[in-house]
């Protein structure tokens, strides 16, 4: 049985995951992470989902959940002037982008948490500096409360913290979301070896959507 335990300690969310179906080398379905509920009438499990959202990307386009219809996507939170973990995380996001650049089923979504300074123009320049010049990777800004609230859906954190370098305290998670808006895997984006495993989990999730032999008969 899979169990997910999430502890909140101040500004930091700590995952304690006991996942018997997600061990190294396992090629089966990934678990559903986050808070679960049960349908009172059917008894079915209701899995944690990312809420509806609408943000503005580096090309001044409104990005909603519909942009990710029929796609899995990888999400993170950052700000362009971050002097600490963001460059490390973005280096790993760039690895993912480059690996799946030609795969139409995979997209990336980076939310700025510095909505005052990270204008659309600044996000555009930042994306171009990374070499992310394809529609596959969206860098978004928007209403501050909307962005900060949605961090909870991703089991992440973002706080204004004047005493922290850069002025923000945030997690460095890279998060994998399936086609049903469910959180299925995560990795510490500051550690390349963790992202190595995360890449295999992306492949596992893609495999879940491959047609089976029975379905083709």
| CATH at 63 | 3.40.30.10
pLDDT digits (tens, 9 = 90+) for 39-96: 788 888 888 899 999 999 999 999 999 999 999 999 999 999 998 899 999 999 999 9
Question: Given this model, what pLDDT does residue 43 score?
Answer: 84
Residue 123 lies in a domain: yes
Residue 129 lies in a domain: yes
Residue 68 lies in a domain: yes
Residue 17 lies in a domain: no
What is the mean pLDDT of the segment spanning 14-23?
38
Domain limits at 171? 53-210
Residue 16 lies in a domain: no
What is the mean pLDDT of the segment spanning 16-23?
37
Per-residue pLDDT band at 26 (split at 50, 70, 90): low
Say if residues 101 and 136 touch (Cβ distance below 8 Å).
Answer: yes
What is the mean pLDDT of the segment spanning 136-155?
94
Q: Can you tell me the distance from the alpha carbon of 182 to that of 188, in angstroms, rounded to the nearest whole number?
A: 18
Most confident of 15-24, 136-145, 158-167: 136-145
Residue 27 lies in a domain: no
Per-residue pLDDT band at 6 (split at 50, 70, 90): very low
Mean of pLDDT over the chain: 85
What is the mean pLDDT of the segment spanning 100-110?
97
Residue 79 lies in a domain: yes
pTM: 0.84
Kind and range of the H or E run holding 206: helix 192-208
Beta bridge partners of 14: 7
Residue 103 lies in a domain: yes
Instruction: Tell how many helices (H) and how many strands (E) occur in the chain.
Output: 5, 13
Report how many domains make up the chain: 1
């Amino acid at each position: 049985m899979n169990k997910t335990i999430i502890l909140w300690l101040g500004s930091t969310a700590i995952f304690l995951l006991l996942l018997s179906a997600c061990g190294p080398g396992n090629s089966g379905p990934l678990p559903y992470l986050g808070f679960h509920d049960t349908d009172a009438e059917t008894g079915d499990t209701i899995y944690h989902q990312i809420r509806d959202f609408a943000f503005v990307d580096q090309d001044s386009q409104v990005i909603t959940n519909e942009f990710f219809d029929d796609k899995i996507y990888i999400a993170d939170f950052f700000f362009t002037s971050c002097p600490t973990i963001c460059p490390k995380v973005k280096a790993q996001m760039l690895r993912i982008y480059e690996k799946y650049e030609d795969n139409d089923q995979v997209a990336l979504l980076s939310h700025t948490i510095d909505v005052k300074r990270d204008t659309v123009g600044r996000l555009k320049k930042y994306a171009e500096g990374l070499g992310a010049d394809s529609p596959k990777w969206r860098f978004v800004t928007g209403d501050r409360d909307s962005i900060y609230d949605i961090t909870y859906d991703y089991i992440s954190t973002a706080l204004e913290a004047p005493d922290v370098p850069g002025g923000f305290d945030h997690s460095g998670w890279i998060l994998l979301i399936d086609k049903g808006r469910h959180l299925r895997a995560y990795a510490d984006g500051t550690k390349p070896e963790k992202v190595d495993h995360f890449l295999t989990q992306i492949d596992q999730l893609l495999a879940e959507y491959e047609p089976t032999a029975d379905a083709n008969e």
